[in-house]
A and B are shown apart, each in its own frame.
Chain A
Amino acid sequence: MRRNTRLWFAALGFCLLSLALPGGRAGGSAKAGEDSGPADEMQIDDQPGYEPSADQEQLDPQYQRQLVFYRTSEAPGTIIIQTAERYLYLVQGNNRAMRYGIGVGRDGFQWRGLVKISRKLEWPDWRPPPEMIERQPYLPRFMAGGPGNPLGARAMYLGATVYRIHGTNQPQTIGSAVSSGCFRLVNPDVIDLYGRVPVGTKVIVRQAPSVEG
C-alpha cells in the first residue's frame, strides 16, 4: 500500500524543471509547435526518489539505442529530434545515425526549433515545482543529483530555453508524451549520448515525421 502510494502520482506531468513553462513555449530560437498532441500522451507525474531497476531500463526493442539508416544533409554530430516519432537521432555520417528512444512534451508542450547545447551537467540537481510540493509536502525542495533524481544521470541544456535533454528515473515514459517540453532518455542512453556530444552541438527539434529518412 505504501509502495503504491509512492509510485502513483496523479494528474499533470511536469517537464523535469523547477521552472513553470507558460504555454510550453520555448525561448531563444525555438518556436512553439502547432501540432496537436499524440494519442499516447501519458498522465504521470514525476517520481522523485524512485530508482528503476536495470530490467526496467531495458526498453522495448523499438526504443532501444541502435545504429540506423538515416539520410540527412545535416553534418555528423548533429542531433535531430523527431518528436512525433519519439526518437532522437545523432547523425553519424554515411547515411547512418545513432537512434535513441525518447519521451517528449505532452499536448501543448511540444515545440520545434533550432538550438545548440549550451551546457552539460552530470547528475543534475532537481527542484520539484511548487504544485508538486503542495501535493507531496514531505518532498525535499531541492534534491542534489543522484539515484532517484527525476532528471536522471545527465542533462544537456538547449540554448537559452528552459528545455533540456535529460535522463529519467521513469523508463516507462520513453515513447510517450509526458513532459513539459523536455526530452528524456533512460539513464544508460543519456549517459551514452552525453559522452558523444560536446557543448555547441546543433540540435534540430522537429515535430512532423521525417521526410529525409
Chain B
Amino acid sequence: MKFCCGKRFGGATIVAGLAAILAGCASVPEPASAPAGPSITADMLVGNWGLASYHKDADRARTETAARAQCNKPYVISRGPSGGVMMYLADQPQAQELVVKRAGDGKTYVGPAGDPPGGDLDREVISFDNGVFVTQWVDPEVVNRYGTMVFARCASK
C-alpha cells in the first residue's frame, strides 16, 4: 500500500512538473484587472433621459427599448453649480450635485464629490454609447432592489 501510494505521488509529481514546464512555454497570463469604464464628462450626462431597470441580463435589450419609451416622464440631468451634474441618489427625492469620478482601476463612477470613487453612494457607469448609458449602484443592497439602470437619451424637441 505504501509502495502503491508513493508511486502515485511520484507520478503526480512528474505530471505536475510537466504541466509546469508546458505552462512555462505559454505566455504568462496577466493579472486579472477590471475592465475600464467609459470615459465620460459631466456634460455628456446633461439632458433628458428615459430611465428603466432590469435584474437579469436577458432583460437588458427590452429594458433599453422600454427606457427609450419613457421620455414622456424623463429623468432630467442638469448642470450643477460647481461643474457637476444634478442627479438623484438612491431613494433620495431631492436632486444633488454629483461628479464623474475615475478610479485607479479605470472604472467610472458618478457620486458625491467628497467620496472616493466607488463609495457606497456612487453608481458605476458600466457603458456609455449610442445615446444610452448603463449604471449600477455600488451598494449591493440597492442593486438588489433596483437592478441595473438604463438611461436612454430623449430626442431634443
Binding site for B on A (CB under 8 A): 2, 5-6, 48-51, 125, 130, 133, 135-148
Contacts and interface: CB of A to CB of B under 8 A. Distances in A.
Contact of A138 (B67, B91, B147): B91
Contact of B91 (A2, A130, A146): A2
B149 interface: yes
Contacts of B92: 5, 138
11 contacts: A135-B93, A137-B88, A138-B90, A140-B51, A140-B146, A141-B70, A141-B75, A142-B67, A144-B59, A147-B55, A148-B55
Interface residues of B, number: 29
Contacts of B146: 48-49, 140, 143, 148
Nearest to A149: B55
B62 interface: yes
Contacts of B2: none
Nearest to B91: A6
B24 to A, nearest CB: 46
Nearest to B52: A142
Task: Name the prevailing secondary structure of the A interface residues.
Answer: loop
A5 B145 CA distance: 14
Interface string B71-90: 00101000000000000111
From A5, A49, A138, name the one whose CB has the most chain B CB atoms within 10 angstroms.
Answer: A138
A47 B6 CA distance: 64
B118 interface: no
A27 B51 CA distance: 30
Contacts of B50: 141
B90 A51 contact: no
B54 interface: yes
Given A125-B66, A135-B93, 20 more contacts: A5-B91, A49-B145, A133-B73, A138-B88, A139-B51, A142-B63, A143-B52, A143-B147, A144-B52, A144-B53, A144-B54, A144-B55, A144-B56, A144-B62, A144-B63, A147-B144, A147-B145, A148-B55, A148-B145, A148-B146
Interface in B114-142: 142
Among A2, A6, A135, A142, max chain B CB count under 10 A is at: A142
B55 A146 contact: yes
Nearest to B76: A137
Interface string B24-53: 000000000000000000000000001111
Contacts of B73: 130, 133, 141
Nearest to A141: B70
Contact of B149 (A51, A140, A145, A147): A140
